[in-house]
């Protein structure tokens, strides 16, 4: 595993700190689970998406002396990431949710919602990217443009929305690079976001499921 899949060498500094932080928190989570028979997570409702759901309770780990301090990369200590647990039932794995990414999607979502309210339920739709998914036409909104770089590749990502107006990030480019790097042959029924899980410490927050269609990742609900 690497801290980030495709960042250039001079962009690696912050990734090193995440790599070390994830290793320390993973070790603490493993020890906690082995001794307490539960995971140190903050309870979340069923409606919370998978890549935002099971936040590591860092305060509990610190108070019970499984870690000596909360990492500076963590939001709880002034950082820009939440530490999460995925695959909680089979193979609990610590990952990072980038809060800047989440916040920018939330900003776009609020703008889309305002447009929808002011325009009798219609959406600021741009080009259709996948069946049922459309680019957000910022020229129609009150924010005009929000730029966001991928935590995986550093490339600028595109915001898209489904037919109900829910906003997502289009991770197809990053997924395709991860598949090519692993020379993988995806199955038609597997959610391709697993390749991002395996290739990085970051989770694909605010993402739709992707499946292999016509030799490329395709978003589908």
**Residue-wise pLDDT tens digits, 3-60:** 444 343 334 444 557 889 999 999 999 999 999 999 999 989 989 999 999 999 999 9
How far are the Cα atoms of 25, 29, 128, 130 from residue 121, in angstroms, in the given order?
A: 44, 45, 18, 21
Structure tokens at 115: 């447009």
Taking only the tens place, the pLDDT of each residue in 135-149 is: 999 999 998 788 999
Give the pLDDT of residue 5.
Answer: 42
93, β-bridge pairs = 86
137 vs 116: CA distance, rounded Å:
13
Residue from 214, 213, 217 nearest 194 by CA: 217
pTM passes above 0.85: yes
**184 and 195 in contact (C-beta within 8 Å)?**
yes
Helices (H) and strands (E) in the chain, counts: 6, 10
* 190: pLDDT strictly greater than 90: yes
Q: What is the pLDDT of residues 86-130, one digit of tens each?
A: 999 999 999 999 999 999 999 999 999 999 999 999 999 999 999
pLDDT in tens, 211-221: 999 999 999 98
User: pLDDT class for 184, splitting at 50, 70, 90?
Assistant: confident
Where does 10-97 have alpha helices with state H?
A: 13-36, 50-53, 58-63
Residues 88 and 54 sit within 8 Å (Cβ to Cβ): yes
Sign of CA pseudo-dihedral 4, 184, 205, 88: negative
């Amino acid at each position: 595993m690497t801290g980030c899949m495709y960042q250039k060498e001079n962009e690696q500094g912050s990734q090193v700190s995440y790599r070390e932080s994830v290793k320390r928190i993973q070790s603490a989570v493993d020890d906690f689970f082995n001794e307490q028979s539960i995971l140190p997570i903050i309870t979340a409702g069923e409606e919370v998406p998978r890549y935002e759901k099971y936040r590591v309770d860092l305060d509990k780990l610190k108070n019970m002396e499984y870690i000596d301090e909360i990492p500076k990369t963590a939001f709880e200590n002034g950082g820009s990431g939440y530490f999460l647990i995925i695959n909680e039932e089979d193979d609990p794995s610590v990952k990072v949710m980038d809060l800047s990414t989440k916040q920018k999607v939330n900003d776009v979502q609020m703008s889309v919602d305002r447009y929808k309210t002011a325009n009798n339920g219609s959406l600021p739709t741009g080009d259709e990217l996948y069946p049922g998914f459309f680019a957000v036409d910022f020229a129609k909104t009150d924010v005009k443009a929000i730029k966001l770089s991928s935590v995986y590749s550093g490339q600028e990502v595109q915001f898209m929305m489904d037919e109900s107006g829910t906003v997502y990030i289009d991770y197809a480019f990053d997924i395709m690079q991860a598949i090519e790097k692993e020379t993988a042959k995806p199955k038609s029924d597997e959610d391709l976001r697993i390749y991002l899980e395996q290739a990085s410490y970051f989770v694909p927050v605010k993402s739709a499921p992707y499946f292999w269609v016509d030799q490329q990742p395709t978003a589908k609900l």
